[in-house]
Amino acid sequence: MSKVQVKKVVVAYSGGLDTSVIIPWLKENYGCEVVAFVADVGQGADELVGIEEKAIASGASECHVVDLKDEFVAEYIYPSLKTGAYYEGKYLLGTSMARPVIAKAQVDVARKVGADALAHGCTGKGNDQVRFEGAFSALAPDLHVIAPWREWDLESREECLDYLAERNIPCAASLTKIYSRDANSWHISTEGGVLESTWNAPNDDCWAWTVDPKKAPDAAENVTLKIENGEVVAVDGQAMSPYEVLVCLNEKGVKHGVGRIDIVENRLVGMKSRGCYETPGGTIMMEALRAVEQLVLDKTAFEFREEIGIKASHLIYDGRWFTPLRESVFAAAESLAKDVNGDVVIELYKGHATAIQKRSPNSLYSEEFATFGADDVYDQSHAGGFIRLYSLSSRIRTLNAAKQK
Amino acid sequence: MSKVQVKKVVVAYSGGLDTSVIIPWLKENYGCEVVAFVADVGQGADELVGIEEKAIASGASECHVVDLKDEFVAEYIYPSLKTGAYYEGKYLLGTSMARPVIAKAQVDVARKVGADALAHGCTGKGNDQVRFEGAFSALAPDLHVIAPWREWDLESREECLDYLAERNIPCAASLTKIYSRDANSWHISTEGGVLESTWNAPNDDCWAWTVDPKKAPDAAENVTLKIENGEVVAVDGQAMSPYEVLVCLNEKGVKHGVGRIDIVENRLVGMKSRGCYETPGGTIMMEALRAVEQLVLDKTAFEFREEIGIKASHLIYDGRWFTPLRESVFAAAESLAKDVNGDVVIELYKGHATAIQKRSPNSLYSEEFATFGADDVYDQSHAGGFIRLYSLSSRIRTLNAAKQK
Amino acid sequence: MSKVQVKKVVVAYSGGLDTSVIIPWLKENYGCEVVAFVADVGQGADELVGIEEKAIASGASECHVVDLKDEFVAEYIYPSLKTGAYYEGKYLLGTSMARPVIAKAQVDVARKVGADALAHGCTGKGNDQVRFEGAFSALAPDLHVIAPWREWDLESREECLDYLAERNIPCAASLTKIYSRDANSWHISTEGGVLESTWNAPNDDCWAWTVDPKKAPDAAENVTLKIENGEVVAVDGQAMSPYEVLVCLNEKGVKHGVGRIDIVENRLVGMKSRGCYETPGGTIMMEALRAVEQLVLDKTAFEFREEIGIKASHLIYDGRWFTPLRESVFAAAESLAKDVNGDVVIELYKGHATAIQKRSPNSLYSEEFATFGADDVYDQSHAGGFIRLYSLSSRIRTLNAAKQK
Amino acid sequence: MSKVQVKKVVVAYSGGLDTSVIIPWLKENYGCEVVAFVADVGQGADELVGIEEKAIASGASECHVVDLKDEFVAEYIYPSLKTGAYYEGKYLLGTSMARPVIAKAQVDVARKVGADALAHGCTGKGNDQVRFEGAFSALAPDLHVIAPWREWDLESREECLDYLAERNIPCAASLTKIYSRDANSWHISTEGGVLESTWNAPNDDCWAWTVDPKKAPDAAENVTLKIENGEVVAVDGQAMSPYEVLVCLNEKGVKHGVGRIDIVENRLVGMKSRGCYETPGGTIMMEALRAVEQLVLDKTAFEFREEIGIKASHLIYDGRWFTPLRESVFAAAESLAKDVNGDVVIELYKGHATAIQKRSPNSLYSEEFATFGADDVYDQSHAGGFIRLYSLSSRIRTLNAAKQK
């Protein structure tokens, strides 16, 4: 494949080893100007210190750091939570939800600086390449996309470090890195190391944020969430923005060892991978939202919400954010969330986040109906007729079969 | 509604207050012979002690105690587990799965004794009346069904006790019973009392079997399950029948406070109810089966299994066991379960049952594919083409929209 | 069941035999004032001539005729069409969609006249009782509902005619009526008579509106529909309101024998029934909308629209219009319909309505991509990588199975 | 990409221009022995005349013609029909269902002759490459796959003809071929030519088998199908094998212009294409099977069968035949088909195939229940209770909302 002609490329830059190599590599291999783009999705202040200088030192002509923290939580995470999406029953989609907000901001920077190409540092084996390029296809199909990891022949950290050293580009990266991690305000993921065998249990190194449940406080702690239209709007009586809610609940979750999962999942590219994910605040929020849904969704609506959750989980995971189907599925979830209002008390204890109290102005639960005794709305005599019609086709089927004999 | 003419009725008898009243009530109101039928689904030996004498003392002409423990686990629970069914995301369907096996055995007794009617002690507000009568419709639509709770005017425990006292029928039942419980080998449910307000947290009385996780051992305990075709066949290296597996895992789960849920659920009859359910062994099994599925089901198969799980949960909950749809859904699950083979180590710790190690001869996970470096099966250069086609419709859509402007 | 106390009831009145009996019956049996409500949903001017006088003559204190023709098509039919709903694969839901708009207007009249009850003339075996009462439950759970057909002991047309004759209430109804029909602007249904045996073919009497395809013109006729956001907005270049579109297309469809179906369907109340339905204009519209969808929906969106269509068909059929689930499902369909824009030429010929030409500004179809030869957007070399990853799990599964042997 | 080392390749050979070029091209470019494999899936005797000689003349060392006609209908089509699959609502999957049976037989030949590679003549833009290679991945991941169309630089029929002429390989292919066709016993497809613009109506050249409905007989013809377990086993009283049924019904369908569709569909590789498909006998069978399902499937089973149909349509279309998911979905359909027994009379008339009479020993339809009047199984008084519980959550929701104000 002959290389495309590129004048100016915007690269998603993290300050890590990979993307530090990408900058000089792009300049050498494409003969183009390279603009660094850094997305702040809450991955931590440490990772952003001095990042602009580092990008320039690596050869970037400019470095744009964009604060996406509020947008990420308010416009990507909160709508996703309304769908109840867990990928393959467990994963709260932390990396998946971050990719579209980053890709969109990267395209915005490309438009601003007049770039004709986009580059990312994702490997050729993962989901993220699909998520980035899926977003680019929908938002900027006119821009070229360069995925250095699928092009170059660098195959190890050592080769990457050598590459930088040969060019006198400073890099603090260490030679060995056992675990591969991805963090944002919602979650941190850990892959590699002992996790590569599914017959190994995770060890302490596999968990980066949360306290080991076994070392978490012996005393449980309660936290109260206020929910409006399927969104957490206050914690312990304090109104907060979506991002503030997440920061606040992360802190509590971390302390009590909440939100750890260890999963073998199906990647979009056809292979399986194993990861340990920590989503402390998110786990608390999901528990609270589901608890209110228990009160307000009727049987058929609840079932549909569960189906929507499965669909949404795949759409988000698969990098389908900017598609008509994702919008349609989310429109359905948004509609159901109108009734999801209320308060929930979550008990945090050694890895558990359990809704122990819940109430809603829209609750369909009624103490009167649930308990014994006559009432206006529910008359037990109705049940006989209900059951008779409900099971009528079974009755006909069996009677008919008897008749055929 | 005029009463039907009945000569001999088989009543599902538990030995409790309700069904003790039902026997004389049926005799007086239908002028018929009453045969008691007791299903042993593992609700506990205590509940069965002296039950035949009690039934006769209440006026039954015969009492048939049928041991359904093995059949219940092997033919109802195990197939259900392959579907991955959790009702409304949480409930492991303990009461729901027991009803069809009981109803079927009750019909068998009715055929044996030549009865022309069936009776049950379910109230007119619950799901169980639908489950029993749904099964009766499919298995014996020619038999009359009597549901005394929907007919009589007894409205309290006091009235029931008075009813028995007036007839000199001995009954050890107490005047007050705050919580309503249902138990079998799979689970125990608790409703009523403080649970009637969703804003009340469950208290100690709401849990009957399991140790409070806060009081569970500080040391975790591991248990290893061997799984074949989606069925747990051995525990800690010891081959066991399905029922034995359940008994063994219940014991471990109880000790570590595993399997508690507190849920507000949609009843089939249109109202919501709240219950605390304990499913200690079942929770361990579900975790183990799902863990193997992570290894062996590909992305599309996994998604279908999740959808099947939702469908199955409603079919089981809704008393649809003996229907063509239930059979069809289970056939799909059975087919997928052929690959669900392997071993799982579950860690039990203060309410948690976590799969920490898992392996399968059918595993699609491969250390080689998942890690960096070239390999035969997966070539990173393939990814570029994959992504391009995968996102082609997004690309066309946006290019086209641009052209329209 | 003791009768409820009612002062003023609004009855859905059609001018037919049943509802003519209901007015005096309600007065005699409930001792209440009876207000007649007539919904004009396009069932035909004939049916409305002199209807107010007839209602008063039957004993109604007032008669409100409400024109719902535009609302029915614009707010019930058009949104439903976006979902692509065919009940059980065939039925275009003509009666089902009319019930909620009628019930809603009936409740409005009840509020206006200060009534405390609602009545309808649906039998106890059909779906319409559920649709009316389902709507009443959601819109006016505080009002009593009276369903005379489930209460009285009149069992034949003869008894109904005698009932009126005894009271000197004039009625033009004939003693025998072989077929039962329901009409509105969208469709006419025919049940009974020879249709009662599924082994009888429909005869000429089973079709009320459409020309027999065998007697339809030998020359085909084309009609062009313009579609915006999933709604037909013009016919043959002429902009029209939804109701006008329907009237115009009905005329063309009737002439060419379009829109006949003969179906055995599952009623909501557990039994099956057979009907012949004619939906001439609607069948043309559905063909046109689906044709544009072929151009604009990508593979995953198309599949979801099909699933949505099944769900919507049941919700509409089952009288679930005024529920959160119906709203959610329709929100999803509405979202997808944003791209459904274009023109379609439909050929009408002896019962066929076939889209023979179609185009859309949002079309994802491209002559360039579809034909041979190189192009920018699609590079054949991409396909190899795509396929490799697309089938990777199959490859791994089989390789692994071989390794196990 | 460097070429793989291959010794002996089995190529799916049709005798057409493309695959005639492929034989010498493989020999020259891979230096390997080439074995021709011809699948007889009922594409017509004409296409098979002298095909072995032609293959040898083109340079094949051997030519294996395998008769798959019975296997194709009995083991691929018949099971698919039970799912009710129509791809994107219309397409009866004629080409899709043929690919796996061909690929499987091709692998069998490869094993027999000891080949180490497989080749096919599908282009890089279509679905068939995915279907072939998807099957190869599952059945023979150890064999190399060569797809010449994605490798060579021949871009037109002229270049292909020149290629053969230069090598003195005889070929009767014409220089121009406007339409591209694919046929087997189930269907024939036509693409290209005027169909390339969706705004063109199909012309006479777009239809290869069926009589134009406008020129079909003025007299309708009836045909009676006997169905057992979801399979057509006899036509007009004559027991037949699946393949014989198809041949017989094709003849009738062709005469009456039955089974034409004109569709723009989503290809698996992300683009849309347009085709005219003719499935005369298949259309008759589908109508008959659906007609029996109307009689025997209850409401919930029918809905699931519709969902299964959508899923199956994608799995078949997408080349997923040899996957656990396809097997699971088909197991569900197989289970439901147990009740699909009966007789159906289909009327054939100018493009219509309409079930006009139907009956089944498993029919849930009952004249008695459907008509007016009292009966044992259905009591109208049951309906009141049914409706009350059925709409209970709506009632509670609205009452509750009123209370909140």
Band (D170; pLDDT cuts 50, 70, 90): confident
Residue in D271, D299, D372 nearest the CB of C370: D271
Distance CA C100, CA C75 (A): 11
The residue count of chain B comes to: 405
Angstrom CA distances, A116 to A35, A66, A112, C17, C232, stand at 11, 20, 11, 75, 41
Question: Would you say A265 is a known binding-site residue?
Answer: yes
Collapsing DSSP states into helix, strand and coil, what is residue C331?
A: helix
Band (C226; pLDDT cuts 50, 70, 90): very high
The answer, for A272 touching chain B at a CB cutoff of 8 Å, is yes
pLDDT tens digits, residue range C166-190? 999 988 888 888 999 999 999 999 9
Q: Which long-range contacts (CB under 8 A, 24 or more apart) does C87-90 make?
A: C87/C265, C87/C313, C87/C314, C87/C316, C87/C317, C88/C263, C88/C265, C88/C266, C88/C313, C88/D294, C88/D302, C88/D306, C89/D290, C89/D306, C90/C261, C90/C263
Residues of A within 8 A of C328 (CB-CB) are 301, 304, 332-333, 335-336
Distance CA B322, CA B345 (A): 35
Band (C371; pLDDT cuts 50, 70, 90): low
Largest CA distance in chain B: 90
Nearest partner of C294 among C353, C338, C359, C227, judged by Cα: C359
pLDDT tens digits, residue range C36-50? 999 999 999 888 999
* Mean per-residue pLDDT, A111-136: 96
pLDDT, position A201:
98
pLDDT, position A45:
87
Helix axes C299-317, C280-296, angle to 10 degrees: 150
Distance CA D138, CA D134 (A): 7
Token pair of B10 as six digits: 């088989």
Token pair of B308 as six digits: 């099947």
The answer, for D333 touching chain B at a CB cutoff of 8 Å, is yes
Band (C388; pLDDT cuts 50, 70, 90): confident
Token pair of C268 as six digits: 């909501």
Interface size A-D, in CB pairs within 8 Å, comes to: 79
Residues of A within 8 A of D366 (CB-CB) are 396, 400
pLDDT, position D1:
45
* Binary contact (C338, A324; C-beta < 8 A): yes
pLDDT tens digits, residue range C96-117? 999 999 999 999 999 999 999 9
Question: pTM, whole model, 2 decimals?
Answer: 0.97
Are D8-167 and D180-297+339-359 equal in CATH topology?
Answer: no
Question: For residues C111-125, b (16+ Cβ closer than 10 Å) or e, as one string?
Answer: eebebbbbbbbbbbb
* Binary contact (C377, B385; C-beta < 8 A): no
pLDDT tens digits, residue range D257-290? 999 999 999 999 899 999 999 999 999 999 999 9
Residue ranges of A 205-224 with Cβ closer than 8 A to chain B = 213-214, 218, 220
Band (A382; pLDDT cuts 50, 70, 90): confident
Band (C374; pLDDT cuts 50, 70, 90): very low
DSSP A353: E
Band (C372; pLDDT cuts 50, 70, 90): very low
For chain A, helix (H) and strand (E) counts, in that order, are 15, 14
pLDDT, position C366:
81
Sign of CA dihedral D356, D360, D364, D366: positive
Q: Considering chain C, what percentage of its residues have pLDDT values greater than 90? A: 83
Question: Given its phi and psi angles, is residue C159 left (phi above 0), alpha (psi -120 to 50 degrees) or beta?
Answer: alpha
pLDDT, position B192:
94
Q: Which residues pair with C230 in a beta bridge?
A: none
**Where is C290: in which H helix or E strand?**
helix C280-296
pLDDT surpasses 50 at C1: no
Distance CA A82, CA C372 (A): 45
Q: Which residue out of D67, D137, D167, D180 is catalytically annotated?
A: D180
Collapsing DSSP states into helix, strand and coil, what is residue B73?
A: helix
pLDDT, position C142:
94
Contact predicate A236/A224, CB 8 Å:
yes
Q: Which residue out of B40, B128, B182, B343 is catalytically annotated?
A: B128
Distance CA C110, CA B76 (A): 51
What residues of chain B score a pLDDT lower than 70?
1-2, 368-377
pLDDT, position D369:
63
Token pair of B377 as six digits: 């099966």
Q: Which residues pair with C278 in a beta bridge?
A: C188, C260
* Mean per-residue pLDDT, A303-313: 98
Question: Would you say C128 is a known binding-site residue?
Answer: yes
Question: Would you say C123 is a known binding-site residue?
Answer: yes
Q: How many CB atoms lie within 10 A of CB B10?
A: 29
Contact predicate C185/C72, CB 8 Å:
yes
Amino acid at D91: Y
Residues in contact with D210: Cβ distance below 8 Å, sequence separation at least 6, in sequence order = D253, D254, D257, D258, D259, D260, D278, D280
pLDDT surpasses 90 at C86: yes
Distance CA B47, CA B182 (A): 11
Q: What stretches of C114-156 show up as alpha helix (H) in DSSP?
A: 128-139, 148-151
End-to-end Cα, chain B, rounded Å:
71
* Mean per-residue pLDDT, D205-216: 98
- Residue in chain A lying closest to B157 (CA): A372
Domain positions in chain D: 8-167, 180-297+339-359
DSSP C187: -
Residue in C310, C365, C390 nearest the CB of D272: C365
End-to-end Cα, chain D, rounded Å:
71
The answer, for C88 touching chain A at a CB cutoff of 8 Å, is no
Distance CA A262, CA A265 (A): 10
* Binary contact (C125, D155; C-beta < 8 A): no
pLDDT surpasses 50 at A96: yes
Angstrom CA distances, B303 to A131, B83, B386, C178, stand at 19, 12, 21, 51
pLDDT tens digits, residue range C326-339? 999 999 999 999 99
Distance CA B184, CA A281 (A): 37
**Where is D223: in which H helix or E strand?**
strand D221-228
* Mean per-residue pLDDT, C285-298: 98
Residue B402 burial (C-beta neighbours within 10 Å; 0-12, 13-18, 19+): exposed
Rounded to the nearest integer, the mean pLDDT of chain A is 94
Q: How many CB atoms lie within 10 A of CB A398?
A: 17
User: Active-site residue D157, yes or no?
Assistant: no
CA distance, residue C21 to nearest chain A CA (Å): 26
| C180-297+339-359: CATH number | 3.90.1260.10
Q: Which residue out of D18, D40, D339, D343 is catalytically annotated?
A: D18
The answer, for A392 touching chain C at a CB cutoff of 8 Å, is yes
Residue C244 burial (C-beta neighbours within 10 Å; 0-12, 13-18, 19+): middle
Nearest partner of B130 among C7, A383, D231, A264, judged by Cα: A383
* Binary contact (D298, B392; C-beta < 8 A): no
Interface pTM (ipTM) of the complex?
Answer: 0.95
Contact predicate D118/D106, CB 8 Å:
yes
Q: What's domain B8-167's architecture? A: 3-Layer(aba) Sandwich (3.40)
Question: For residues D261-275, b (16+ Cβ closer than 10 Å) or e, as one string?
Answer: bbbbbbbbbbbbbbb
Neighbours of chain C (3+ CB pairs under 8 A): A, B, D
* Mean per-residue pLDDT, C197-208: 97
Angstrom CA distances, B350 to A250, A335, B290, stand at 22, 38, 21
pLDDT, position B374:
44
* Mean per-residue pLDDT, A294-300: 97
pLDDT surpasses 90 at D299: yes
The answer, for B400 touching chain C at a CB cutoff of 8 Å, is yes
The answer, for A177 touching chain B at a CB cutoff of 8 Å, is no
pLDDT surpasses 90 at A171: no
CA distance, residue A271 to nearest chain C CA (Å): 6
pLDDT surpasses 60 at D370: no
pLDDT, position B367:
72
Q: Which of A17-26, A273-282, B171-180 has the lowest mean pLDDT?
A: B171-180
Q: Which residues pair with B182 in a beta bridge?
A: B189
D188-192 and D117-119 strand pairing: unpaired
